[in-house]
Structure 1
Amino acid sequence: MLRVTTITIILLSVQMLFAQKTIEETLEDTYRPVKKNLRIKVEDTLGNNGFLPVSIVKGKKEGPTFTIVAGVHGFEYPPIIATQQLMQEINIDSLNGTLVFIPIASRGSFYNRTPFKNPEDGVNLNGAFPGNKDGSITQRTASIITKHIIPVSDVFLDIHCGDAPEDLLPFICYYNNKSKPEQTQRAKELSETSGFQYVVSYPYTISHEEPAKYMFKQAVQDGKTALSIESGKLGNVQEEAVVLIKKGVYNMLVEMKMYGKRVEPTKAPIRLNDQVYIKSNKQGIFYSSYNAGDTVQKGAIVGHATDEFGVLIEEYKASKTGIILYMLATPPINKGDTVMCLSSFNPENE
């Protein structure tokens, strides 16, 4: 029995190693065009078993490798549906270069219908990077993406939306990493040609030794051109959000000379680069008459919370004048929750 168990463990280890190598092997194979769907096995010592779905689409001609990831949070449905449609719509014979799709990065979160954390191990994938190959299933998933997906990518796109409780203004964003000016400039160019009305940049303040935590921030830290789309909200599939995501991807592929023609002429984007976050100090029931996309003035009361008896316990004031990028839009509120994110443009942040 011991010998059989030992052999089984060895075989599983070999299969895991082989599965992870198939990503690089598929990309290194010179045969074109080809599409391969891979299930990269992921399991941990807690008894969690699963896989990371990876689809590799290699066009007729060589070119850049563009990676598209959805479903880092399992309740963010428009990015997942848009990615599903893109995988079916792309004509491989018209593609230059390679597309790498991860259609649902956190399958545990998706199939258990939970926002933010994977209930299998209680870990938020978009806080687990660079990951841990010996950790829980989510930490191992992050490690696979860091070690096997990010390194082969020329451009890395992380697609999100407002989660189950969040209202959100659609936007595309990148990190203003001044230590990597070439990659930052390319991310800015791709963002501005995507067709999204709002282009948001975030300051990049971590050192190379610090954990990136967020997935596309890990790609930035690793020297890649990386950006993120936010489109959709409130745990539903809005068709307009799906269309907007796809238009953004197609426009970026056109800009990279990888695929097709521009979906429609792009207008000059509205640029935002100065974000502040209003936080809750109390647990209670949240109320607001505002929506994502509204402009608020500094000092305005943008919401309040009551206790279970309807007694006012906290008011929330805008700390600056700005546009609401996203905000809490459901009644439950906990201490430390982000009530809303306000954004504006500050020339000094360029």
Structure 2
Amino acid sequence: MSDTMDICGLKAERGQKLQTYIPVLDSNTKIPITIINGQNDGPTLLITAGIHGGEYPGIAAAIEISQAIEPEVISGCLIIIHPVNIRSFWERSAFVTPDDGKNLNREFPGDVNGTLSQKTAWLLSRHFFPLADFYADLHSGDIHEELYPYVYYPGLPNSEISAKAREVALVLDMKFMVRSTATTGAYNYAAISGVPSLLIERGGAGLCRREDIDAYKNDLHNILCKLELLCSPQQQQKHTPVDVTDVIYLETDQAGLLVLQLPLWRQNKTR
């Protein structure tokens, strides 16, 4: 790690914290970013939240830790983007960037001459992933989705990258993790590029519950400790994730609405 962290002309000297915006090339969009260049040498951790702008708990957690952590307690460099998809965030748009209708998480590595989503993906791929020693991407169920907390780690790049990512996933306080065989998504592209990465899921349904934010902050604290950016005890875990190996994704080729109704005896039993 050099004494100066320089990202597209944004410079944070050793022992400095910089909170500003980074522009997306040839657009009016500016993305909020925090760079905390630690007092001591160490690895670089990249954290992104809000690649989908309606997934709020991770965004809130990223903002709060960016405000709370100071360079004096960091060994290495912490880069936080909160949120990445600022246009989707302000427009409360589920999944897609309102300017181009594209799902940003499906556009990596991006295109410098493309739409706003493609340029944003290119910005991360070109200028952020090469700086990172580890990458954590924070997600939730989107505005219309609820989910149970879990974490993806990449399974395709090579066994070493996959093992490093899985080792860090074990410090998260959740029951389940999934070895991904997908090639799409920011974290998968970063892993294919050589950066151990995780995609973490907590909360959803357009809510920003305090318990989800705090759980996310505990996860991030444990990641920082595991990677030795922070020298402090890890938060105690109620759960350690185990691999889910039999995953079934349900899809339909028909339009319509599916309504599931409990049997009458079950309804009566729960009254």
* The two structures share one fold, judged by TM-score above 0.5: yes
Residue 190 (structure 2) aligned to one of 190, 209, 219: 219
Partner of 1:119: 98
Partner of 1:283: 255
Partner of 2:227: 256
Larger radius of gyration: 1
Partner of 2:9: 22
Q: Map 1:187-198 to 2 at 5 A.
A: 187-198=165-176
Partner of 1:199: 177
User: Structure 2: how far apart are the matches of 1:281 and 1:171?
Assistant: 27
Instruction: Provide the TM-score with structure 2 as the length reference.
Output: 0.88
Is the counterpart of residue 136 in structure 1 residue 115 in structure 2?
yes
Query: In 2 relative to 1, CA 166–34 (structure 1 residues): closer, same or farther, beyond 3 Å?
Result: same
* SS of residue matched to 1:279: coil
Deviation at 1:266, TM superposition (A): 5.8
Deviation at 1:52, TM superposition (A): 2.3
Q: Map 1:238-249 to 2 at 5 A.
A: 238-249=209-220
Is the counterpart of residue 231 in structure 1 residue 210 in structure 2?
no
User: Structure 2: how far apart are the matches of 1:240 and 1:97?
Assistant: 29
* SS of residue matched to 1:213: coil
User: Structure 1: how far apart are the matches of 2:207 and 2:56?
Assistant: 6
The 8 Å contact of residues 217 and 226 in structure 1, kept in 2 or not, is answered as: yes
User: Structure 2: how far apart are the matches of 1:99 and 1:217?
Assistant: 20
Which runs of 5 or more residues in structure 1 are unaligned?
A: 1-18, 205-211, 291-350
Deviation string 1:163-193 (CA, Å, 9 cap, x unpaired) is: 112120101220113x522221111110012
The 8 Å contact of residues 19 and 32 in structure 2, kept in 1 or not, is answered as: yes
Query: In 2 relative to 1, CA 193–289 (structure 1 residues): closer, same or farther, beyond 3 Å?
Result: farther
Residue 180 (structure 1) aligned to one of 158, 168, 187: 158
Query: In 2 relative to 1, CA 43–60 (structure 1 residues): closer, same or farther, beyond 3 Å?
Result: closer
Deviation string 1:238-271 (CA, Å, 9 cap, x unpaired) is: 2221111111111111111111221114644332
Query: In 2 relative to 1, CA 213–268 (structure 1 residues): closer, same or farther, beyond 3 Å?
Result: closer
Deviation at 1:275, TM superposition (A): 1.8
The 8 Å contact of residues 174 and 240 in structure 2, kept in 1 or not, is answered as: no
Paired positions, count? 256
Deviation string 1:70-117 (CA, Å, 9 cap, x unpaired) is: 010011011111111111121321111110000111111111110111
Letter in 1 for 2:22: I
Query: In 2 relative to 1, CA 268–105 (structure 1 residues): closer, same or farther, beyond 3 Å?
Result: closer
Letter in 2 for 1:151: P
Deviation at 1:286, TM superposition (A): 2.8
Q: Which has the higher contact order (CA 8 A, sep 6+)?
A: 2
Partner of 2:43: 64
The 8 Å contact of residues 199 and 271 in structure 1, kept in 2 or not, is answered as: yes
Is the counterpart of residue 96 in structure 1 residue 75 in structure 2?
yes
User: Structure 2: how far apart are the matches of 1:85 and 1:58?
Assistant: 17
Letter in 2 for 1:94: V
Greater fraction of residues in strand: 1
Which runs of 5 or more residues in structure 2 are unaligned?
A: 1-5, 263-271
Letter in 1 for 2:218: K
User: Bigger shift: 51-60 or 99-108?
Assistant: 51-60
Partner of 1:76: 55
The 8 Å contact of residues 7 and 127 in structure 2, kept in 1 or not, is answered as: yes
User: Structure 2: how far apart are the matches of 1:42 and 1:50?
Assistant: 6
Deviation at 1:20, TM superposition (A): 5.7
Partner of 2:19: 37
Deviation string 1:124-170 (CA, Å, 9 cap, x unpaired) is: 11111100001111111110100000000000111101011212010
The 8 Å contact of residues 7 and 128 in structure 2, kept in 1 or not, is answered as: no
Deviation at 1:194, TM superposition (A): 2.0
| Identical-pair percentage | 29
* SS of residue matched to 1:151: helix
Partner of 1:325: none
Deviation at 1:123, TM superposition (A): 1.5
Partner of 1:307: none
Instruction: Provide the TM-score with structure 1 as the length reference.
Output: 0.69
User: Structure 2: how far apart are the matches of 1:32 and 1:196?
Assistant: 34
